[in-house]
Chains A and B, each alone.
Chain A
Amino acid sequence: MTQMVTPVSPAATPSRNARGHVVVDRVAKTFQGADSSVEALREISMEIGEQEFVTLIGPSGCGKSTLLRIVGGLIEPTTGRIEIRGQSPSEAQRTKDIGFVFQQPALLPWRTVASNVELPFQLNKGSGTDRLCSTEEILALVGLGAFANAHPYQLSGGMQQRVAIARALIFDPALLLMDEPFGALDEITREGMRYELLRIWGQSRKTVLFVTHSIPEAIILSDRVVVMSPRPGQIREVIKIALPRPRNDEIESTTDFVRYADRLRHLLKA
């Protein structure tokens, strides 16, 4: 298999899109209802380094999805600001530097798989023509080379989600935002998809902010895990995952892994 993207080492000059330095500066969010308000997030500050894989984990309702959407520019914060490579999220949207993957694939059912992956190039055309690789190559990368002309309804949930990942990667965004992307899949598929994602990520090394409520998933995937408290969401603790890469399923039985899992479980329970 030909390598389609040269992995960027810190020593070499990073390409414009490899850098994905993200700053979250005192972000808070309160949702105003008709006669009530909900404080979803209270004073969140954190940074994500280039090519770092950071996971947000927390109990349901802690605001992790809200925070993800604020970083991605889909929700306005009540206070605070976000910086993505020095740009605001709206500017990053305009320059197509944000790739989103949601819990549901959200593909367009009337288009083929290949056409769905090509969709970002038909929107906001003024933002330039950054492209990670050809459509065939990215489909081969996610393991769907034979399905370019299939329609989403002919694919299983896991396969559709892989198309969604391909769609979010093809325009070479600086930042990949993933909101529990494997949440709708069955356990077996889910476990396989984690390592699939690592393999895909290893080829393109994007900066990733990943939301999950699965402890093993957080440890397997991330460089750092940000643990959030229940609503109103705040950062409880940040844990650095010092497991070596590349990772495979053997690490799940190492003592380090178990220790991290215990630590996270303890933090999430209290």
Chain B
Amino acid sequence: MTATSSATVATRQLPRHGFGTTVRGLALGSGPAVFGLVAFFVGWEFLVRITNTPSFVVPAPTAIFARLIEEAPSYGYEFLFTLAAAGAGLAIGTTIGIVGAVLMASWPVLERSLFPLAVILKLVPFIAIAPLLRIWLGYELTPKIVLATLITFFPVLVNCIAGLRSADPLALEFFRSVGASRWEILRRLRWMSTLPYLFAAFKVNVNLALIGAIVGEFFGSDHGIGKVINETALRLDIRAMFAAVMFLAITGVTLTLLMNVLERRVLYWHDSVRTSAGR
């Protein structure tokens, strides 16, 4: 059997994993979503006008967007604080989650003793903790970082444990048959098997971290988009409040889209990404 005859047996075309390919794919695939959004806003505008709803109850989308464009620089500035707190909390929470998962997967006794503690932590409502944190830690970034950390570490912990255990058992047997050490198995097999699970947790956590930071800001903060929403609501400046919320929604959607692009690049080999790409 020659090399050329083997080449004709190729079953699928080799893909290119370039950045352009995935962004373009995303742009083409998002047609229906964009249409849905536009229809939603058009419907909203229509309803407000038809019923002559006053703008301090429900503003029309055109009014909201106009105000948003006006305030965009200041909202953007404030949002940077929220983003910083959420980002730091996410980073710390993810690290704690991964380290905890690796330790718990290696020593089941640790899992039995510490996991219930993690569950208790997870069950405490964050709304209740937030004012406490503000009293203890002040009006700046620290209490929001703590809040974001508390929210984000649990999904990472749970998913990472599942991911570490999801390694292909036959691949594991192959590793053992050539004398691989536990560390090599962790590094070369278990870690990559964990990535899809970590990404699933990450996609959820990006939004959760933002929410955590914003909840913290509601209870008193020098800066942040949550502070803006709070203040505009108290002042009954409803249009500005909606504008701030809209700002948040836009950034949330953008972050999710970025996460999807990143996921396709990193997890190109995984079934979850390949089947959605239509291969």
Give every chain B residue within 8 A of A122 (Cβ-Cβ). Answer: 184, 188
Say yes or no: B3 contacts A146, CB within 8 Å. yes
Say yes or no: A109 contacts B269, CB within 8 Å. yes
Give every chain B residue within 8 A of A95 (Cβ-Cβ). Answer: 179
Say yes or no: B11 contacts A123, CB within 8 Å. no
Q: A140-B3, A154-B14 are in contact. Are A123 and B188 (CB under 8 A)?
A: yes
A235: min CB distance to chain B, Å: 24
Say yes or no: A124 contacts B181, CB within 8 Å. yes
| B178 partner, pick from A144, A151, A159, A171, beta carbons under 8 A | A171
CB nearest neighbor in B for A121: B178
Answer yes or no: A242 CB below 8 A from chain B CBs. Answer: no
Q: Mark B1-39, 1 if CB is under 8 A from A, else 0.
A: 101101101111010000000000000000000000000
Say yes or no: A124 contacts B269, CB within 8 Å. no
Answer yes or no: A74 CB below 8 A from chain B CBs. Answer: yes
Q: How far is the CA of A74 from the CA of B169 in the complex (A)?
A: 12
Q: How far is the CA of A2 from the CA of B177 in the complex (A)?
A: 31
Answer yes or no: A263 CB below 8 A from chain B CBs. Answer: no
Answer yes or no: B265 CB below 8 A from chain A CBs. Answer: no
Q: How far is the CA of A208 from the CA of B11 in the complex (A)?
A: 31
Q: How far is the CA of A69 from the CA of B176 in the complex (A)?
A: 11
Say yes or no: A74 contacts B178, CB within 8 Å. no
Answer yes or no: A72 CB below 8 A from chain B CBs. Answer: yes
A186: min CB distance to chain B, Å: 14
CB nearest neighbor in A for B172: A106
Q: Within B163-189, which residues are at the interface with A (CB < 8 Å)?
A: 168, 170-171, 173-181, 184, 188-189
Say yes or no: A143 contacts B1, CB within 8 Å. yes
Partner-binding segment picked from A5-13, A97-105, A216-224: A97-105
Say yes or no: B188 contacts A94, CB within 8 Å. no
Give every chain A residue within 8 A of B181 (Cβ-Cβ). Answer: 124
Give every chain B residue within 8 A of A108 (Cβ-Cβ). Answer: 171, 188-189, 192
Q: Mark B144-174, 1 if CB is under 8 A from A, else 0.
A: 0000000000000000000000001011011
Say yes or no: B14 contacts A110, CB within 8 Å. no
Q: How far is the CA of A94 from the CA of B177 in the complex (A)?
A: 8
Give every chain B residue within 8 A of A159 (Cβ-Cβ). Answer: 9
Answer yes or no: A45 CB below 8 A from chain B CBs. Answer: no
Answer yes or no: A155 CB below 8 A from chain B CBs. Answer: yes
Answer yes or no: A59 CB below 8 A from chain B CBs. Answer: no
Answer yes or no: B49 CB below 8 A from chain A CBs. Answer: no
Answer yes or no: A248 CB below 8 A from chain B CBs. Answer: no
Answer yes or no: A96 CB below 8 A from chain B CBs. Answer: yes
List B residues at the A interface (Cβ < 8 Å). 1, 3-4, 6-7, 9-12, 14, 168, 170-171, 173-181, 184, 188-189, 192, 269-270, 274
Known pairs A106-B171, A123-B179 / 6 extra A-B pairs, C-beta < 8 Å: A69-B173, A104-B170, A106-B173, A150-B14, A154-B11, A155-B11
